[in-house]
Amino acid sequence: MVGLGDAVGELLALAVEFLRVRGDGDDAPWHVDELPVPLAPPRPADPRARAAPAPPPLPFDDVHVAAVGGALDATAVAALAARSAELVVTPWRGVLLTDQISTRPSAEEIL
């Protein structure tokens, strides 16, 4: 366990190590769990921490479309723009269609 006074320094050291280990390029990991090796040995969670096992669902009927390979070409962007008045690019390598869509089409149906 890391003491509160050391938490900032430990987190910064891990962030620097993450940047070093992940490397550069289009296929560089975005998340710690995508790294080929852990940054530090696993530790049990502090029982006082309250972490959700998964993020809660979005509070509206948005549709997230993954950008295959992390990129969208002009044709894909035009197809998405035809389906929604507003597009939001996400850090999850995708796009949110923010209009209230009553059905959830698959990425293949949209693109």
Q: How much is the pLDDT for 16? A: 94
Count of CA atoms in the C-beta half-sphere (13 A) of 38: 4
Q: How much is the pLDDT for 87? A: 84
Q: Are residues 71 and 97 in the same domain?
A: yes
Q: How much is the pLDDT for 61? A: 53
Q: How much is the pLDDT for 80? A: 87
In order of 70, 78, 105, the CA distances from 25 in angstroms are 12, 26, 31
Q: What does the buried/exposed string (b/e) look like for 73-105 if buried means 16 or more CB atoms within 10 Å of the residue's CB?
A: eeebeeebeebbeebeeeeeebbbbbeeeeeee
Q: How much is the pLDDT for 14? A: 92
Q: How many domains does the chain have?
A: 2
Q: Which residues of the chain have pLDDT under 70?
A: 51-62, 99-111
Give the global pTM. 0.44
Instruction: List the domain range (segments joined by +) for residue 77.
Output: 63-110
Q: How much is the pLDDT for 108? A: 59
Q: Is residue 13 part of a domain?
A: yes
Q: How much is the pLDDT for 18? A: 93
Could you tell me if 39 and 21 are in contact, meaning their C-beta atoms sit under 8 angstroms apart? yes
Beta bridge partners of 65: 95
Q: Are residues 68 and 105 in the same domain?
A: yes
